[in-house]
């Protein structure tokens, strides 16, 4: 089986995961039992979520290479990397308009990408919404694993995630389970994004084979792109935030509220640009940004978050 085919598969068989790890199949069972290789027996045979296997391999890596150059001392450029969000885009624009002696730029890397950029000292702030296994807490587990410390965690917002559908919901989609209907075409977010992780977890709970969903492998980097594909008629549904449905006058099936956080290494927490951005979260001008955006809650916004 060719590597390109295997890369597109959401679930790998025992033979495929052995090929991916370049080991024999017997060793796969040893890794499940002794090293926590991610696996499921939902179908009665072992299956391996590809994105979790990749994450497991990276988490097992020792002597991870350090970045050749660290960020220079703050001199007016604030770098934010991680998860895509409409309110965050507006906040960065507001920051650049208000603080003309500074500039903020954003790298759309997904939640995992932002945390890894933070680890490699490539950004000042990582933006993440990775739900932990208990489905109650966010970000602390992956931060501890990836950064080997708990960074400063400040809430940016809480937002509502769900399934975006066409206006009037012509396909009569009522829940995640309905996406198994072969007549429904979806679009998706990339691996490594918090939205994709949540979507895959919900599909798993619903017992749906993601590979059988039409359009599951059609990935788009921004929430708004998901909405535009649905507006255009090229897709019937896709995972995303309620704000997109509100802006584009689409229907929305809620799944859950999530915490969307800013992660900051302690040695950079009090740098000027970071503090200006955190201070902005308490300004009336920032709060005004959500007036036409449904699906946001700012009750925790700007507050330090601690693990329970």
- Please choose, from the candidates 271, 264, 236, 267, the residue with its C-alpha nearest in 3D space to the C-alpha of residue 250: 236
CA distances (Å), origin 227, targets 119, 159, 235, 241, 244: 32, 16, 9, 9, 6
Six-digit token string for 229 = 């594909």
**How far does the chain reach from its first CA to its final CA, in angstroms?**
45
The separation between CA 56 and the C-alpha centre of its own chain, rounded to angstroms, equals 17
Give the pLDDT of residue 262: 98
For the stretch 244-295, pLDDT in tens is 999 999 999 999 999 999 999 999 999 999 999 999 999 999 999 999 999 9
Listed in sequence order, the residues at least 6 apart from 254 whose beta carbon sits closer than 8 Å to its beta carbon are 160, 161, 162, 242
Length of the chain: 308
The pLDDT of residue 60 is: 63
Q: How confident is the model at residue 41 (pLDDT cuts 50, 70, 90)?
A: confident
Beta carbons of 111 and 193 less than 8 angstroms apart? yes
For the chain, the structural domain boundaries read 3-60, 69-308
The pLDDT confidence band at residue 28, using thresholds 50, 70 and 90, is: confident
Q: Which CATH number fits domain 3-60: 1.20.58, 3.40.50, 1.10.10, 1.10.287?
A: 1.10.10
User: What is 69-308's CATH number?
Assistant: 3.40.190.290
pLDDT digits (tens, 9 = 90+) for 148-160: 888 999 999 999 9
Whether residue 6 is predicted with pLDDT greater than 60 in this model: the reply is no
């Amino acid at each position: 089986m060719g590597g390109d085919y295997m890369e597109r598969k959401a679930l790998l068989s025992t033979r495929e995961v052995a090929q991916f790890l370049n080991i024999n199949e017997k060793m796969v069972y040893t890794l499940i039992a002794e090293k926590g290789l991610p696996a499921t027996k939902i179908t009665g045979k072992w299956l391996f979520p590809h994105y979790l296997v990749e994450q497991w391999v990276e988490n097992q890596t020792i002597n991870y290479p350090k970045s050749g150059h660290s960020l220079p001392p703050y001199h007016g450029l604030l770098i934010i990397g991680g998860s895509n969000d409409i309110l965050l885009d507006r906040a960065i624009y507001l920051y650049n308009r208000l603080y003309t002696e500074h500039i903020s730029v954003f790298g759309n890397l997904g939640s995992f990408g932002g945390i890894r950029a933070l680890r490699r000292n490539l950004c000042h702030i990582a933006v993440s919404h990775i739900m932990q296994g208990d489905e109650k807490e966010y970000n602390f587990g992956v931060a501890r694993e990836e950064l080997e410390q708990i960074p400063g965690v400040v809430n940016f917002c809480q937002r509502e995630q769900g399934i975006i559908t066409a206006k009037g919901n012509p396909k009569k989609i009522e829940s995640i389970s309905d996406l198994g209907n072969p007549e429904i075409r979806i679009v998706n977010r990339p691996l490594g994004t918090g939205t994709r992780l949540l979507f895959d977890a919900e599909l798993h709970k619903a017992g749906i084979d993601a590979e059988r969903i039409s359009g599951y492998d059609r990935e788009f980097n921004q929430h708004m792109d998901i909405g535009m594909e649905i507006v255009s008629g090229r897709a019937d549904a896709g995972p995303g935030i309620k704000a997109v449905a509100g802006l584009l006058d689409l229907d929305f099936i809620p799944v859950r509220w999530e915490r969307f956080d800013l992660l900051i290494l302690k040695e950079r927490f009090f740098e000027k640009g970071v503090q200006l951005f955190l201070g902005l979260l308490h300004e009336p001008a920032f709060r005004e940004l959500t007036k036409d955006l449904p699906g946001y809650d700012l009750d925790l916004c700007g507050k330090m978050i601690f693990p329970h």
